Amino acid sequence: MCIFCDIIENKIPSKKVYEDENVLAILDISQVTCGHTLVMPKKHFKNILEADEDTACKCISVAQKLARQIVENLDAKGCNILNNCNEIAGQSVDHLHFHIIPRYSENDSIKIAFEESPEQDLDEVLARIRG
Ligand code: 5GP
Ligand code: ZN
């Protein structure tokens, strides 16, 4: 059972921001900021690590268009586009989705902090990533 598949199949109601053959975008029920939107493929994939390239690209393309539309029409100053991938990264619904979170001020109700980790050997990290 997947709650987003149920939304896509209209078994659960949602506020649809955008819909086409492959992608659905809905207002997030929690509205971290006004206009917080979720962009998801209609085909079920757990997350971006598992999705096929075409599906991921279609979602990103819609996310870009909607981010422009949301920022402009809601008079936001910018937005965060987020994808939480796996539980460790905060994924709570196991159906690929991208958050579009409009930003209105530094004090709005989202906090994203990049704190430095202990020093890394960048050459070693690079070698490991390249495999
Ligand atoms: P995640 O934590 O997986 O990145 O994000 C899941 C998001 O889905 C959360 O922001 C949560 O508020 C939203 N969500 C969970 N259930 C529903 C629902 O039934 N309807 C809508 N519109 N959003 C939901
Ligand atoms: Zn699903």
| Domain chopping of the chain, boundaries | 3-130
Side by side, which strands form the sheet with 98-103? 16-19, 23-27, 37-41, 98-103, 78-82
- Please, which residues have CB less than 5 A from ligand 2, an ion? 2, 4-5, 44, 95
Ligand 2 midpoint to CA 55 (Å): 13
Is there a catalytic annotation at residue 36? no
Interatomic CA distance for residues 47 and 18, integer angstroms: 20
Cα of 103 vs centre of ligand 2, distance in Å, is: 28
pLDDT of residue 59: 98
Which CATH number is correct for 3-130, 3.30.428.10, 3.40.50.12280, 3.40.640.10, 3.40.50.620?
Answer: 3.30.428.10
pLDDT along the chain (131 residues), means of 10: 97 98 98 98 98 98 98 98 97 98 94 91 97 97
Determine the residue type at 25. A
Distance CA 12, CA 20 (A): 18
Give 98 Cα–ligand 2 centroid separation in angstroms. Answer: 14
Reported as a single tens digit per residue, the pLDDT across 99-110 is 999 999 999 999
The ligand with the least distance to the CA atom of 9 is 2
